[in-house]
Structure 1
Amino acid sequence: MKGERQPPPKGGDAGPRVVIIGSGISGILMGIKLLARGWRDFVILEKAETLGGTWRDNRYPGAACDVAAHLYVYSFAPNPAWRSRYAKGPDIWNYYRRVARRYGVLPYIQYGKEVEAAEFDGAGWRVTTRDGGVYQADIVVAATGRLHHPMLPDIPGAESFAGPKFHTAQWDETVPLKDRRLGLIGTGSTATQIVAALADEVGQLKLFQRTAQWVFPVADTPVPLWKRLAFRLSPRYARNYYYTLRSQTEARGKAATGDRTARAARDQQCFDALARVRDPVLRAKLTPDYEVGCKRLVMSGTFYDAVQKPSVDVVVEGVERIEPRGVVTRDGQLHELDVLVFATGFDAHAYLRPIKVTGERGVTLDEVWREVPLTYRAIAAPQMPNFFFINGPYSPGGSASVVGIVEAQADYLMQLIERIAERKVQLVPRQEAAVAWLEEVRERARQSVWGSGGCQSWYLDKTGTPSLDPSTLSELQAQLAAPDWDHFVERPALVELACAAA
């Protein structure tokens, strides 16, 4: 299975030369879209030795998606075989691998190709990889995702811990956990899944909580056989179910952006779930001091049950330092541990870094993004001709399944690529169009609960503004239905840059 290399098929319209960076959900999708158009002159560069991003890297106990499984699929490739409402990580990874195989994408993936740089030379892009590979492209698509740079906390003495220690995205499956003392730093979605999965396995689980999380109750109910058969035998039934789930998710997303009825209903469900914690002292520890939805909601029907078990201890005194024997909290107590796990999330603002991207006239993407990651519709950046993003800065989040979001973006991007191919041009968004779009998005984001709810979260940029578009999926699809060509500079390809600048 490793690599799954196959020779690319022959024939077909070559189309523009396209380099796609990343073989996760977005990269696979772009490959499918290009092949559907008949274009075969593309390559997907993947830094790892097999495809996938999030669901390849996150293999911790209990790893699962908090979006309903039948919605967390490409709309054109339903999976009737899901056995529960919320799919587990390995099953999701297998779904996307099967789809990549079914649609002929696997032959176009090159593994072990970590991109170091992309440089525009006036005629096109020169993409280089860490192993010395060089790829010439007319178009580059960064499909690197947002949550792939693990964040480790800056805690004094972390390196001194004597036992195994690792980030959840680098889970060491060789480390035994049964009856051992496990320390878990962090309380987001990943941490709550681990607590639910390991509360009955470990001897003791210390959950070091800096910030309490609001938990929205969901039931991971099995999908009965009759329903799986109905999904398989009736495409209409499967399609209707997909759109029902999408509507439910969109309604919940509107709670973050001003719908008072949706917000009240969502909040009450969170309050009712928290009330199930019987011990008032523990319930107080788990009660957030900010509005529901200000941070990304934790979706779980099992965390509150697990955290009340005798094997679990929620520690809220704050971590002072780490010693060889364990964690010392600010009250001076040493919590002795055998294994230490960091559930501390990712650098959501790194985007495609550390790749160095150099565009027109030697301007780097880091320079364009010095103050704020300026993009046009989260898909293109000024001074970067024919360089595009899927799920780039200021993509929507928290209001829809990411799969639906990247589908809408990929369909829009294919319209740009069609124009590039048909007219043999380079496209770059106008600075003023990008600035206007971003200012509008940021102002709307400030008015959402993510900007006004009184908390710190990975949604916020260095200015305290949520770095996401609060649009629902329906709104995004309408916004991206057709490009406004007046918002782009269009010039013939293969001209000298100096002439183009004129």
Structure 2
Amino acid sequence: MADNNSPRVVVIGAGFGGLGAARALRERGVTDITVLERADAIGGVWRDNTYPDAACDVPSPLYSWSWAVNPRWDRRYAKQPEILAYLRDAAEREGLTGLVVTGAEVVSCTWDDDAAVWHVGCADETTYDAEVVVSALGQLSNPVVPRIPGIDDFAGPAFHSAQWRHDVDLTGRRVAVIGTGASAIQLVPGIVDRVGALTVFQRSAPYVVPKPDQQYKPHHHRAFARWPALLQAERRTVFWASEKLNAALGGQVRWSKAFLATIRVAWRLHLRRQVPDAALRARLVPDYEIGCKRILFSNDWYPALSREHVDVVTGAVTGVEPSGVRTEDGTLHEADVIVWGTGFAATGFLAGVAVTGVDGADLHQHWADGAHAHLGVTVPGFPNFFCIYGPNTNLGGSSIISMMEAQAGYVAEAVSQLGDGTRTIEVLPEVAEAYDREMQTRLRASAWNGCDSWYVDGSRITTNWPGRVSEYQRRTANVDWDELAAR
């Protein structure tokens, strides 16, 4: 322990999750906190994702820290520069930026049982010793580019949406966008007016519904500043609406099917109104049940795809050649630039970090059939090791910040008990096993049953939480010490 009897804590990652955890720990009296960030600045996904028109798909009054309410959002769905500025300003005001060490890429965490200490190793061979490790790497930190034959042979620039090449001028060029997920539906409208030709390669069409966005005017800002309850009311309203969506997606209420059917009607009307061409509309119909993937919000995705210089290709991509992308029908789609909108390794929790627990236990071996953790936070055999945005804590709707704040509070309460004779905290194996059974049972019984994209090797759903955010908040509001072994 540190001299003041406060445990030393290493937090991995300086995004919303890691910085929020650091603040919660400090609020509980933990003073020796080091936040290790592999990049050269704080910000997490909002530092990395700088593609055109990058924005949040959750209204900003809710997609923000509860302890840093912002009355001056430019619009209801804030864009990336404003979100990043908000995160950095709030962290600076709270004195969190001084805790961060940048350029520190963690590659190993090794438990020393004799000393009750984690040895944290970085890529540059720097090491840190700490009684507690909090991993806040998240589920959206490692971009995925599929292994496609010839991918290295392409003659032009090719980059992932999360690694946007701002030095590449797209004006008048033929651009291939591979993928139609949450990033693609923002960046395609963002570049459509600049490019000469745009080919969008779609493996599976998303459900896209109208986005109730608006720009906040000066009178909104004055009202929010003068009457803070107005902004809190909007936050509560958005939270309530998102809870209804989560309940329906999880099949928890008798009206789930009716609610999802209503969303499907809204999607179909949106598609029909914005895409006049029947053949294109047919290509934009999803091939899965609504709720199996995140429902997306956009007012300009369908109009962008309807432009004369835009083509939507539904055939599977089979190869990349120097001059373009080839699909399963043998067609070569010529391109000058390729943008990979192919998402992230959401199920690869703690990828790139070797975590070794009690008696040499390998966390990745423990998770060989898919990651799982009690409350998404703690794993037996890995004492004083906690996750923020861990397994089964993602959402089909609502703000992930609400989930991460709940996790941060739970972790901070647990860590605050270390010292005065308590060296380690570890979840009991039987508790973790029972929780995992509950998660898998509920998820299989929910609207996500049969949604192949949620499974790891067809056996386990590792990403999503099956209930409402409010339920998770209740279950993490206080540490149940009967579920943990404190030694």
2:262 pairs with 1:269: no
**Residue 347 (structure 2) aligns with:** 349
Q: Which has the higher contact order (CA 8 A, sep 6+)?
A: 2
Over the aligned positions, Cα root-mean-square deviation in angstroms equals 1.6
Displacement of 1:425 in angstroms is 3.0
SS in 1 for 2:449: helix
Structure-2 separation of matches of 1:101 and 1:280? 52
**Residue 391 (structure 1) aligns with:** 389
Structure-2 separation of matches of 1:15 and 1:240? 38
2:96 pairs with 1:105: yes
Displacement of 1:359 in angstroms is 0.8
Picking from 146, 149, 169, the partner of 1:153 is 146
Contact 1:54 1:147 in 2 (8 A): yes
2:67 pairs with 1:69: no
Greater Cα shift, 391-400 or 135-144: 391-400
The one-letter code matched in structure 1 to 2:203 is: R
SS in 2 for 1:420: coil
Contact 2:246 2:395 in 1 (8 A): no
**Residue 200 (structure 1) aligns with:** 193
Contact 1:200 1:311 in 2 (8 A): no
SS in 1 for 2:90: helix
Contact 1:250 1:472 in 2 (8 A): yes
Deviations 1:253-275 (CA, angstroms, capped at 9, x unpaired): 22211223432322221121122
Structure-2 separation of matches of 1:478 and 1:66? 25
Structure-1 separation of matches of 2:37 and 2:46? 14
CA 1:189 to 1:464, structure 2 compared with 1: closer, same or farther past 3 Å? farther
2:170 pairs with 1:170: no
Structure-1 separation of matches of 2:237 and 2:419? 37
**Residue 6 (structure 1) aligns with:** none
Deviations 1:452-487 (CA, angstroms, capped at 9, x unpaired): 3xx442x32222543222121111111112222121
Displacement of 1:100 in angstroms is 0.6
Contact 1:14 1:40 in 2 (8 A): no
SS in 2 for 1:275: helix
CA 1:198 to 1:12, structure 2 compared with 1: closer, same or farther past 3 Å? farther
Contact 1:396 1:471 in 2 (8 A): no
Deviations 1:44-99 (CA, angstroms, capped at 9, x unpaired): 00011001211111111111110111111001111111111111111111111111
Structure-2 separation of matches of 1:151 and 1:396? 18
Deviations 1:344-368 (CA, angstroms, capped at 9, x unpaired): 1111111112111111111111222
Picking from 448, 452, 460, the partner of 2:455 is 460
CA 1:151 to 1:415, structure 2 compared with 1: closer, same or farther past 3 Å? same
Contact 2:8 2:132 in 1 (8 A): yes
> For 1:416-427, what aligned pairs fall within 5 Å after superposition?
416-421=414-419, 424-427=422-425
> For 1:291-306, what aligned pairs fall within 5 Å after superposition?
291-306=289-304
Displacement of 1:318 in angstroms is 2.1
**Residue 338 (structure 1) aligns with:** 336
**Residue 375 (structure 1) aligns with:** 373
Structure 1 unmatched runs, 5+: 1-10, 492-502
- TM-score, normalised via structure 1 length: 0.92
Structure-2 separation of matches of 1:370 and 1:319? 29
Structure-2 separation of matches of 1:180 and 1:142? 41
Matched pairs, number: 478
Greater Cα shift, 348-357 or 422-431: 422-431
Picking from 112, 119, 138, the partner of 2:110 is 119
**Residue 72 (structure 2) aligns with:** 81
Contact 1:442 1:469 in 2 (8 A): no
Structure-2 separation of matches of 1:383 and 1:250? 34
CA 1:339 to 1:61, structure 2 compared with 1: closer, same or farther past 3 Å? same
Structure 2 unmatched runs, 5+: none
Contact 2:357 2:381 in 1 (8 A): yes
Contact 2:30 2:416 in 1 (8 A): no
Displacement of 1:369 in angstroms is 1.3
SS in 1 for 2:326: strand
**Residue 278 (structure 1) aligns with:** 276
Structure-2 separation of matches of 1:208 and 1:96? 34
Structure-2 separation of matches of 1:481 and 1:333? 56
SS in 1 for 2:107: strand
Contact 1:55 1:92 in 2 (8 A): yes
Structure-2 separation of matches of 1:334 and 1:344? 20
CA 1:120 to 1:234, structure 2 compared with 1: closer, same or farther past 3 Å? same
- TM-score, normalised via structure 2 length: 0.95
**Residue 20 (structure 2) aligns with:** 29
Displacement of 1:128 in angstroms is 1.2
> For 1:352-501, what aligned pairs fall within 5 Å after superposition?
352-421=350-419, 424-452=422-450, 455-457=451-453, 459-467=454-462, 468-491=464-487
